[in-house]
A and B are shown apart, each in its own frame.
Chain A
Amino acid sequence: MATPAISIQNLTKLYPIPFKREKVTAVKDLSLTVEPGQVYGLLGPNGSGKSTTMKIVLGLVSPTAGKTEIFGRDSTTVESREDVGFLPENPYFYKFLTGAETMAFFGKLCGLSGARLRERTKELLALVGLENAADRRLGGYSKGMLQRIGLAQAMVQEPRLLVLDEPTAGVDPAGSREIRDLILDFKKRGITVLLCSHLLGQVQEICDRIGILHQGVLVREGRLGDLISIENQTELILENATPELLAEIQAAVGRSNGRVVEQRQPQTTLERYFLEVTGSPERVIGDR
C-alpha cells in the first residue's frame, strides 16, 4: 500500500487567549488521509480551521496534539518540506524582486543552482505564461500574475505534493480556467494536490475527495461524487428528443414506481458562456 501523501491523525490545535484561561479551539481531533495522486479539497467557512490545518501540515505551526505526516515524514521536520510546494492566498513575495529573481530565489532555497535553475525558471515562467514579464518587479504585477508566479515557485523543485490556498481568488475567469487546467495537468503527472477554496464550482470540477471543516471539526469527508449524488435520482440528458418521445418516457415513468422530478433544458455554465462572449477560447496546456 502506497504511503499517503498527507496523513493527519487526531490533530488538535488550541490557541491561548491573552490574559484569559480559556483557549480557542482552531482544530479539534481531525483525522484524514490524502492518497498520492489525488486532488483533495479542504473546504469550510471562514474560521473553520482550514488555514490552521494547512499551516500545521506545512510545519509553520506546531500542533497541540496529534500527528501530521507528508509521505511518511513528520511534517514538523524541515525535510518533509522537500516534497511540498505551497501557493499561499494573496501570494506573499518580495515586491522588489522581478519574476525571474523570485524564481531564482526560491529555486536556490530548494537546492537548485546554475544551468538547471535557469532552465527550470524559464520552463516554469513559460508554463504559467509569464515569460514576457520575467524582468518586471512583482510590485507591478496584477493579482492574476501574482497567482501565476506563486504557482510557478510552488513547482520549482518538482514537488510531489502541492498545497494551494485559494489559487484562483481574485483572478478573472480566463485566468481562473488556466489555473484549473494546470491543476488538472498536475494530477495527470501524479502530483498530489491539497486545495483550499471557497469557489465550490471549481472544487466540484477538479477534486476527487473533499473534507468539510466546521468550527474546527471535520463534519463530512469522502469521494466528491458519493457525497453530492442524490441517491434516489437519475439524470437523463436527451438530444433532439421529439415531444412524442418525451410523452412516452413520462408515461413509462408513470407506470413504474418512479416519478419525473423535473423536466428542463440543461444549461451551459456561466463560465463557458462568459469565455465564449469575451473571445477567450479554452486552451489546452502546452498550447502557448
Chain B
Amino acid sequence: MRSRTVLVIGVIVLIAVVIQTTLFGRLRIVTPDVVMLVGMLLALTRVRPEAVLAVAFVSGLIMDLLGASLIGTRAVVYTTVAYVAIRTRERAELGRVTIAVWAGLLTLVGITLLIVVGTLFGQARLVGGDAVSVMILVPLANLALAALLAPPFVRLVDRDRTALRYP
C-alpha cells in the first residue's frame, strides 16, 4: 500500500470510530455500525486482502479498548466479517442495490457473531439492551449507508474516479 492510501484509511477509521462512539453511540433510532462498514467497504477496493483484514482487526480492537467489553471481541468479529466480505465481493459488483444488500447481510452476520461471541465470553450486553431490534436496525442502517457511501469510499481509497460507476 502506498503511504497516501495508508493515511487515507487511517483517517477514515479514526473518523468512523469517533462518529460511532459519539453520534451513533447516543442515538437510539439510527444505529449503524460504521466501523464494521469500513472493513466491509475496504474489501471492495484494491487494497490487499490481508491489509483489509488487518485494518478490520485494528479498528475492532480500538472499539474494544474504548468500551468496557473484553479486548478482542469486536476485533475477531470485524475480522471475520471482512474476510467474508473479501470472499463474496464479486457478488456486490452488480450495482448500488446489491452493494447495499450485501453490506446489510454482512452486518447481520457480524451482529449475530457479536451476540454469540459475547455470550460465550459473558458479554451478553455487547450489542445493547434489545438484541432483536439491534439485529434488525443495525443491518438496515448499514444497508442504507452502504448504498450512499460505497462508491465515494472506493473512489477515495483507490483514487479512481471511474470506480463503482453504474449505468
- Check if A and B associate: no
Which residues of A are interface residues toward B (Cβ below 8 A)?
none
Which residues of B are interface residues toward A (Cβ below 8 A)?
none
